Structure 1
Amino acid sequence: MRAFKNIKNIFFIGIGGIGMSSLARYFNQNGFAVSGYDRTKTDLIQNLEKEGVQFIDEFNKEMLQEFSKEETLVVYTAAINVNNPFLKYFSEQNFECLKRAKVLGEITTGTPTLAVAGTHGKTTTSAMLAFMLYKAGLKVTGFLGGILNNFNSNYISTGSDIFVVEADEFDRSFMSLSPTHACIIAMDPDHLDVYETKRAFEKTFIDFAQKVTSKDQIFISEEIDLEGKKISLNSNNTDVYIENISIKNRHFYFDYASEDIQLRNIQSNLPGRHNVLNSAMALSLAISYAPEHAQVYADALSDFEGIQRRFNKVIDTDELILIDDYAHHPKEIEAVLDAVNDLYPDEKKSVIFQSHLYTRTRDFADEFIEVLNGFDEVNLLEIYPAREEPIEGINAKFLYDKITSEKYIIEKEEIKDKVFKNKNRIILMLGAGDIGLEVQKLLKNIAL
């Protein structure tokens, strides 16, 4: 903790964010007085409070005056508006204010750091990786981008010999990291509101890859044109490859092979071939750090229970299967659809989709249309704006007019009937906005 040796208090602006809250847990565990602001008290924030973190949900200048600028670090997310009253106050009072990515970089620099990058798959892969190292008894700290079902937490820590981080490309955040090992799962363009062009997006990934000094310690999906060890499914022409993929009793089984390591009949509880690739990435990173535990890592996959909002079967009965997933990019939706088709090939599927960001909806409209047309029924909620202002003509109807499947534009109040009175048994609720909260409302109604 040498980077923050004079700091006693950590104040988070946006503490309820999944990345911010894992960082808050780290500082809280290490003896700092942790507090923070967010707009609403979610279940995650309530858990933070139980752990000793102080939460406030409104601006209170008198309370903030209790903080000493010499002993307080202010952490904020890239999504926070510059006019946020907390950020304005602390900046005007000359407090040290750092973006979350910068703080994460300060913590991990100088220690072996395994970074998981890619437009898709980061959260699941980094969680798998941290879980493998944990099961091997290594002293690992993992900052996760989702709630790991095994621990009901987005933070794992048994020591600080090694860090596992999710290397986020948004706002070029991952450029603050100094990884010793890394993987890049996918490079499909995204966040064009930040990067503007596909070329600029790809250039940043190239720059990130160059941060890893040894090309034997960076693993790249086969189709990505970057230097490193290549990983593929069902092809033995790469440095690492997965073969003999099969599905038995709705579990995936596969073999892992590299020049030095062969692992057979690995069981994964996670659906979809994309998660087989994620598993291969996690295994490769873990093995590159401590190869003597290779079999332990492989065995750990059968105990890995997944991440909340990543293909979670929240209802699984003979009458209804409801799957909740964070998918918000066309490629992610495609992966989820492929997975559900693998598991239920002969059944029709309905989707309730909430697009995330006006710019993403506009920039990838054709891709969204193509993948949504793969469902038998499409129900569209209005776009979740997050940090953005509306764009004229970009809304749910913009997508609706182009979809050729059976389609509806619905309000949140209609979700319950769309789920429980649907003619199709397989229903997916997809999106990165507040649709996840709607899933929780459904489940609470059932409990009542």
Structure 2
Amino acid sequence: MSKLNDIKKIYFIGIGGIGMSALARYFRSKNVEVSGYDKTPTPLTRELEASGIAIHYEERVDALPKDVDAVVYTPAIPAQHAELVYFRENNYTVVKRSDVLQWITEGSFNICVGGTHGKTTVTSMIAHLLRHSGYGCNAFLGGIAANYNTNFWSHERNVVVVEADEYDRSFLKLVPDVAVVTAMDPDHLDIYGTPEEVVNAFIQFSQKVKPGGCLVSKYGLERGNELNAAHHYTYSFENTGADVYAANREVKNGSYVFDVVAREWSIKEVTLHMGGLHNIENSIAAITVAKHIGISDEKIRAAVADFRGVRRRFEYALKNEQHVLIDDYAHHPEELNALISGVRSIFDKEKLVLVFQPHLFSRTKDLADAFAASLDQADEVILLPIYPARELPMEGVTSELLLSKMNNPNKKVLGKEEIKTWVAENKPRLIVMAGAGDIDALVGPVKELLS
């Protein structure tokens, strides 16, 4: 692709984002000179710096490289950001992350995973299946794969596994050979306006599948019959109406063992060491893709058993006889439902304390009733103040709004320091920390207090 070949120096505004950092690693692997800005240092930016990428953390035009061939920004960056304004006003090539993914995937065999939740885990599982089996792929993940401690890797095989992000409709720039749709629940209504428009976008995404291509979609999706491709498989946790589903599920030594049953094939005794019943369903989607592209049952079984999960997706930050601390990215009511039911499937006799940080004022406002119903399923709930990300505050939209809608009497809003004090005093046996903001920075201190 000539656009890519012309790039010798590239700059990222928001380089520490999970999707942006994968692209930064891609260009670094191609010996392109990479630099960037982010507002705060994180373990991820430190890793990028250690790989030779220059990063600064202040919004300063005088710190910018002036001879870059392209500038990439994330939609989370405000339009008035000084660096973004400078590059635009001076006629640099300024593009979104989704544009660069479009350039990268124009000449490859693409497996694109979309969905309002579940996509990061399914993408990581598929990429791991292809890597572990020796099939090979280039992977662009929306999370850190625990097996490899990275969100990107390259391979000489011209196959790309990529997370297809519905935010800002960016997934419509991709052209899949194989597409996966995990969920089409209402989200990003600040972009789409209505739940119907979210579904319409996913239908458009399915229409991008190349002629003769394959679509794997969750069974029972509303308007799922409008998703279409030459080869279309539906998958389910255990609904036998789906084309592929799980059967004979057991829990052995804290892991799941199950059979994967399809119309024309089955794989016996698949072992998944990642917690959460929803992750059995995620693995079925990944296995269906692996079978479609011709990976053998033995290699699939071995790869799934070796999969160690994704950072912040049902991740055990601490697990011993005294305490269990689970860290999860869940930031949508359906994700919280799946997380809580997954925890209950393994720790059914323990009191479940959930610490949740709402993400975005708009999402909290749009889905307040559903959030309250999800949170009510925990035994005790502690809410952090809303993490604003790219938004300004909205009048009347606070964590107290969720509290007021909950029926569970064991609920409170605490700041980060107050949560540490509470944990030190109460030492809960089972604590789940969830959210897509900066709650992950609290996991380490809580683990220390419990240890």
TM-score (norm 1): 0.95
Aligned partners of 1:377 and 1:446: how far apart in 2? 17
Any conservation in 2 of the 1:353–1:378 contact (CA below 8 Å)?
A: yes
How many residue pairs get aligned? The number is 443
- Cα displacement string for residues 137-157 of structure 1 (whole angstroms, at most 9, x for unaligned residues): 123110011111111111122
- The alpha-carbon distance between structure 1 residues 6 and 307, as it changes in their structure 2 partners (threshold 3 A), is same
Where 2:442 maps in the other structure, the secondary structure is: helix
Task: Give 1:438's match in structure 2, choosing from 410, 435, 442.
Answer: 442
2:415 matched to which residue of 1? Answer: 411
Mean alpha-carbon deviation: is it higher for 54-63 or for 202-211?
54-63
Residue 246 (str. 1) matches residue 250 (str. 2): yes
Matches of residues 381-392 of structure 1 in structure 2 within 5 Å? Answer: 381-392=384-395
**Given the alignment of the two structures, is residue 378 of structure 1 paired with residue 375 of structure 2, yes or no?**
no
1:58 corresponds in structure 2 to: 58
Q: What pairs with 1:254-269 in structure 2 (closer than 5 Å)?
A: 254-269=258-273
- Alignment CA distance shift 1:6-1:213 (3 Å): closer
Identify the residue that residue 48 of structure 1 maps to in structure 2: 48
Deviations 1:140-186 (A, max 9, x none): 11001111111111112233420000011111110111111011011
1:151 counterpart SS class: coil
Matching residue's letter, 1:149: A
Is contact 1:215-1:229 (8 Å) kept?
A: no
Question: How far apart are residue 214 of structure 1 and its match?
Answer: 4.6
Matched, 1:98 2:101: no
The CA RMSD measured in Å over matched residues stands at 1.7
Aligned residue for 2:183, secondary structure, equals coil
Q: Give the AA of the match of 2:76.
A: A
Corresponding residue of 1:16: 16
Greater mean alpha carbon deviation, residues 138-147 or residues 28-37: 138-147
> Using the alignment, how far apart are the partners of 1:199 and 1:389 within structure 2?
26
Query: How far, CA to CA, are the matches of 2:298 and 2:422 in structure 1?
Result: 45
How far does residue 79 in structure 1 lie from its aligned partner after superposition?
1.3
Which of 319, 324, 349 is residue 321 of structure 1 equivalent to? 324
Residue 342 (structure 2) pairs with residue 343 (structure 1): no
Distance 1:61 1:292, change over 3 A: closer
Which one of the candidate residues 365, 370, 394 is aligned to 1:367? 370
Q: How does 1:45-194 map to 2 (within 5 A)?
A: 45-64=45-64, 66-68=65-67, 72-194=69-191
Once residues 72 and 125 of structure 1 are traced to their aligned partners in structure 2, the CA distance between those partners, rounded to angstroms, is: 34
SS in 1 for 2:384: strand
Check the 8 A contact 1:234/1:244 in 2, yes or no: no
The answer to whether the 8 Å contact 1:138/1:158 transfers is no
For 2:437 and 2:279, the matched residues in 1 are separated by 23
CA contact (8 A) 2:247 2:260 kept: yes
Amino acid at match of 1:415: I
* CA shift digits 1:350-369 (9 cap, x unpaired): 11111011111111111111
Write the distance in 2 (CA, Å) between the matches of 1:216 and 1:234: 26
2:404 is the alignment partner of 1:401: yes
Distance 1:211 1:439, change over 3 A: same
Paired residues of 2:315 and 2:327 also in contact (CA < 8 A): yes
Q: Greater shift after overlay, 345-354 or 416-425?
A: 416-425
Provide the rounded CA distance (Å) in 2 between the counterparts of 1:296 and 1:381: 43
Q: Secondary structure at the match of 2:48?
A: helix
Separation of aligned partners in 2, 1:315 and 1:421: 18
SS at match of 2:248: strand
CA distance in 1, matches of 2:160, 2:15: 21
User: What 5-or-longer segments of structure 2 have no aligned partner?
Assistant: none
Q: What letter corresponds to residue 253 of structure 1 in structure 2?
A: V
More deviation, 188-197/397-406: 397-406
Note the C-alpha offset of 1:2: 3.2
Question: More deviation in 223-232 or 415-424?
Answer: 415-424
Report Cα offsets for 1:293-321 as digits up to 9, x if no partner.
34212210111111111111112122221
Q: Structure 2 vs 1, CA of residues 106 and 413 (structure 1 numbering), >3 Å: closer, same or farther?
A: same
Partner residue, 1:295: 298
* 8 Å Cα contact 2:354-2:434 kept in structure 1: yes
Give the Å deviation of 1:425: 1.4
Please give the alpha-carbon distance, in whole angstroms, between the structure 1 residues aligned to 2:113 and 2:37. Answer: 28
Write the distance in 2 (CA, Å) between the matches of 1:20 and 1:9: 15
Judged with a 3 Å threshold, the aligned counterparts in structure 2 of structure 1 residues 446 and 349 are, in CA distance, closer, same or farther, namely: closer
Counterpart Cα distance in 1 of 2:6 and 2:115: 35
How far residue 249 of structure 1 moved from its aligned partner, in angstroms, is 1.3
CA drift at 1:197? 0.5
Q: Answer whether contact 1:130 1:156 (CA < 8 A) is retained.
A: no
Native 8 Å contact 2:72 2:95 kept in 1: yes
- Distance change (3 Å), C-alpha of 1:63 and 1:370: closer
Per the normalisation by structure 2, the TM-score is: 0.94
Q: Deviations over 1:105-130 (max 9, x none)?
A: 11011210001111111111111111
Q: Return the letter of the residue paired with 2:315.
A: N
Structure 1 Cα separation of the partners of residues 333 and 278 of structure 2: 14
Distance 1:249 1:445, change over 3 A: closer
SS at match of 2:306: coil
Partner in structure 2 of residue 285 of structure 1 = 289
Unaligned runs of 5+ in 1: none
1:205 aligns with 2:202: yes
The whole-number CA distance in structure 2 between the counterparts of 1:437 and 1:213 is 41
Asked whether the 8 Å contact 1:72–1:95 carries over to 2, the reply is yes
Q: In the TM superposition, what is the alpha-carbon distance from 1:408 to its structure 2 partner?
A: 1.1
**Mapped partners of 2:259, 2:213: distance in 1:** 21
Q: Is the 1:115–1:183 Cα contact (8 Å) retained in structure 2?
A: yes
Over 3 Å counting, the alpha-carbon distance change for 1:67 and 1:377 in structure 2 is same
Is this contact kept in 1: 2:178–2:209, CA < 8 A? yes
SS in 1 for 2:385: strand
